[in-house]
Amino acid sequence: MAAPDQEPVIRVRDLVVGFGERDVLDHLSLDVRRGEILGVVGASGSGKSVLLRTIIGLIPKRHGTIEIFGIDLDAAPPQQVRSIGRRCGILFQQGALFSSLTALQNVQYPMREFLDASEELMTDVALAKLEMVGLTREDADKFPSELSGGMTKRVALARALALDPEIVFLDEPTSGLDPISAEDFDLLIRTLQQTLGLTVYMNTHDLHTLHSVCDRIAALADGKVVAVGDMDVMHACEHPWVQAYFGGTRARDVAHEPAPAAT
Amino acid sequence: MQPLLKSHAAADRLELSAEGSWTAVHAGELEKLVEPVLREPAAQRPAVIDMAQVRELDTFGAWLIERLFRRFAEGGPEPRLVGVPDHFRGLLDEVRHTNRRPPAARNPENPLLVAVEHLGRRTAEVGEDFLSLVAMFGEMGLAFGRAFLRPQIFTSLVHHLDRVAWQAVPIVLLITFLIGGIIAQQGIFHFRKFGAEDYVVDLVGILVLREIGVLLVAIMVAGRSGSSYTAELGSMKMREEIDALRTMGLDPVEILILPRVLALVCALPILTFLGSMSALIGGGFVAWLYGGMAPEIFIERLREAISIDHFEVGIIKAPFMALVIGAVAASEGLKVKGSAESLGLQTTNSVVKSIFYVIVLDGVFAIFFASIGM
């Protein structure tokens, strides 16, 4: 594990996001450091997805600043915002694959739009990426409706990585996967993060994922980040929700399980 | 930083040194650098690729390096990578394992055979389509029988009537009013040449009540409500809502399709009546403004020109057309597969086919009414 340096690639300050009367995120601040895997946890409806979607610009904010690569997204010209978009890859919760394109075409699509490369190179690299996420040559020609849940997530991850982004946002990457696939997927994220030097921002409910791949964890409650740090920080946190989450029976089971390598 | 690939031929080996940013942004330039080296005839001397000066590397760059590597490896002795910075090693190793299997060979297809196959499949599809439509009628009949045992499903009929009948009234009135006016204007313009302007009342009255009123409204309903039925049922199919109903032991035809089709069967005669009246008013309005025929005279002549038969001929057709539109919309909706494209395709099919069947049905009715002398 390379030691992540301290410079934040995403800096969220004093963020307020709300719908109607209610503020979902209430003066929230968060840093994501270069080269780390940050896991964001929170109860359902605590605003994890809202925070992710606000950072990538899908939901307008009411107050606060968001800087990615040190550039304030509000102050930057559209050209620059577009180029930042190119340096980020996003894995949506349901995959959000284009249903009328094959797996291969899904991965090629962002390349086709943004890169000046030949058809052959794009096909080769797209196939290489599909293989890196653990799919075969035969899967590449399947349509999204023919893929299983785990395969859909893998193709979606390959598409998120299509342009070799520096930051990858993962929204519940292991939800809906069986424990074995989920563990494989965790391992995959870890491996890719190391080989490609990614910064990973991940929303998750999966205690396994938090234990095995995340460098740091941010706990979201009451519209704020109530604790940020490694597992020890989480256990030391006084907040009742964090206590319940990391102190629950499921969490203790995961913590006391022998490490996979030792079995 | 610009990527570079310098080649230097030493006596016993070929030295290539890569420099700069080998990343996706420079993919085009990188290809131009690598291309000529790949095209050169395979050299028998060993090649050395020096990567010490590479500042940035991503999958694109790594793959192009790998391409060079494989090209040299197939032509001669194994090339060597030197000066690889440690943090690039993982990526290069990863890429080395990919794309090893050759793509499955595809047999070239004979275009003539493809065309014949396509024709055959389409012909078979036409038959299957018709069968699925007949099956839909059968299922609806069964569901209709069962529905009397569980009359609560008729509550959703009210909701659907609101959508397809009540909310359709303004647009139906507007369009039929305009069409009535246009028919009257054309009639007056052409009949005037031989002094028969008064017969425009017969033209508008008979045409609207027997044919145009019901046809126009049926086509509008097919486009407005038939398409939305197909899209609704199709997206329910995509999201497995229909499967969910089935597993609860409920029949989707009974729960989803029957109320929709019954709503159409009730709505179309009402809309046809309103539309026909609106078209007659439109015709009368134009006859007054453009032909100078006072409204009282128009109504008087209309009374002489048409009989209740004409009205019946038109209105009897309406529920049958509604049934066909509903059945086509439902059977197309259930054919939707996983993709957004297939949803669009089936919606188009639904509208095109239901308009086609409406016109065919209209022709069949014309023969029938002619033979019974109506």
B-interface mutation test, from A94, A105, A114, A125, most B Cβ less than 10 A away: A125
Give me the pLDDT at residue B347, please.
95
Task: For chain B, list residues with pLDDT below 50.
Answer: none
pLDDT of residue A72: 82
**Distance in angstroms (rounded) separating the CA atoms of residues B126 and A158:** 40
Among B23, B64, B90, the residue with its CB nearest the CB of A164 is B23
Please state the domain count of chain B.
2
B136 lies in the same domain as B43: no
Domain finish residue from B75, B96, B117 = B96
Residues B136 and B86 in one domain: no
Residue B112, domain member (yes or no): no
- Does B122 reside within a domain? no
pLDDT of the residue at B231: 95
Interchain CB distance below 8 Å, B94 and A132: yes
Give how far A240 is from chain B: nearest CA, Å: 37
Three-state SS annotation for chain B: CCCEEEEEECCCCEEEEEEEEECHHHHHHHHHHHHHHHHCCCCCCCEEEEEEEEEEECHHHHHHHHHHHHHHHHHCCCCEEECCCHHHHHHHHHHHCCCCCCCCCCCCCCHHHHHHHHHHHHHHHHHHHHHHHHHHHHHHHHHHHHHCCCHHHHHHHHHHHHHHCHHHHHHHHHHHHHHHHHHHHHHHHHHHHHCCHHHHHHHHHHHHHHHHHHHHHHHHHHHHHHHHHHHHHHHHHHCCHHHHHHHCCCCHHHHHHHHHHHHHHHHHHHHHHHHHHHHHHHHHHHHHHCCCCCHHHHHHHHHHHCCHHHHHHHHHHHHHHHHHHHHHHHHHHHCCCCCHHHHHHHHHHHHHHHHHHHHHHHHHHHHHHHHCCC
Q: Which residue of A has its CA nearest to B338?
A: A145
| Residue A59 sits at the chain B interface (C-beta within 8 Å) | no
Q: How is A71-110 classified by DSSP, letter by letter?
A: EETTTS-HHHHHHHHHTEEEE-TT----TTS-HHHHHHHH
- Does B24 sit within 8 Å of A163, measured CB to CB? yes
State the smallest CA–CA distance between residue A194 and chain B in angstroms: 8
Residue B302, domain member (yes or no): yes
Residues B219 and B323 in one domain: yes
CA distance A201 to A170: 6
Comparing alpha-carbon positions, the chain B residue that sits nearest to A197 is B87
Looking at the structure, tell me whether residues B223 and B287 fall in a common domain: yes
pLDDT of residue B234: 94
- B227 within domain boundaries: yes
Contact flag B27-A115 (C-beta cutoff 8 Å):
yes
Say if A232 is an interface residue toward chain B (CB within 8 Å): no
Q: Are residues B78 and B168 in the same domain?
A: no
Give the CATH number of the domain where residue B19 resides.
3.30.750.24
A48 touches chain B (CB under 8 A): no
**DSSP single-letter state for residue A203:** E
Same domain, B196 and B261: yes
Q: What is the pLDDT of residue A5?
A: 53
- Residue A159 · residue A105 · CB < 8 Å: no
Chain A residues with CB under 8 Å of B64 CB are: 121
Same domain, B90 and B142: no
**Closest-CA distance of chain B to residue A241, Å:** 34
Asked if residue B10 is part of any domain, the answer here is yes
Low-confidence ranges of chain A (pLDDT < 50): 1-4, 259, 261-263
Residue length, chain A?
263
Strand partners, A19: A22
- The chain B residues in contact with chain A (CB within 8 A) are 23-25, 27-28, 31, 58-60, 63-64, 67, 87, 90-91, 94-95, 97-99, 101, 103-104, 337-341
DSSP state of A9: E
Cα–Cα–Cα angle for A157, A162, A167, rounded to 5 degrees:
70
pLDDT of residue A261: 46
Contacts of B28 in chain A (CB under 8 A): 115-117
Mean pLDDT over each residue of chain A, to the nearest integer:
80
Name the closest residue on chain B to residue A140, using Cα atoms. B103
Q: Choose one of B96, B120, B146: the last residue of a domain.
A: B96
On whether both B46 and B187 belong to a single domain, the answer is no
Nearest CA to CA, how far is A8 from chain B (Å)? Answer: 20
Q: A196 and chain B: CB distance < 8 Å anywhere?
A: yes
Is B151 found in the same domain as B67? no
Residue B116 within any structural domain of the chain? no
The span from the CA of B261 to the CA of B253, in Å, is: 10
**Final residue in a domain of this structure, among B42, B74, B96:** B96
Say what the pLDDT of residue B275 is.
Answer: 96
ipTM of predicted assembly, 2 dp: 0.72
Beta-carbon separation of B101 and A137 below 8 A: yes
Q: Are residues B82 and B195 in the same domain?
A: no
| Pairing between β-strand A8-19 and β-strand A63-68 as defined by DSSP bridges | antiparallel
Supply the pLDDT for residue A69.
83
Contacts of A160 in chain B (CB under 8 A): none
Query: Are residues B18 and B155 both part of a single domain?
Result: no
Q: Taking CB atoms and an 8 Å cutoff, what residues of chain B touch A124?
A: 63, 67, 99
Domain with B151 in it: 132-371
Q: What is the pLDDT of residue A2?
A: 44
CA angle B272, B278, B283 (to 5 degrees): 125
Q: Do B168 and B308 belong together in one domain? A: yes
Cα B19–Cα B20–Cα B23 angle in degrees, nearest 5 = 115
Q: Decide if B338 and A145 are in contact by the 8 Å CB cutoff.
A: yes
Of B14, B147, B163, which is closest to residue B77 (Cα–Cα)? B14
Closest alpha carbon within chain A to B239: A145
Is B108 part of a structural domain of the chain? Answer: no
Tokens at residue B19, please?
């420099």
Pick B63's closest partner by Cβ from A115, A118, A128.
A128
Q: Which residue of A100, A117, A144 is in closest CB contact with B27? A: A117
**CB-CB neighbors (< 8 A) of B345 in chain A:** none
> Is residue B40 a part of any domain in this protein?
yes
For B67-93, write each residue's pLDDT tens digit: 777 777 776 777 777 777 777 777 777
Q: Does A124 touch chain B (CB under 8 A)?
A: yes
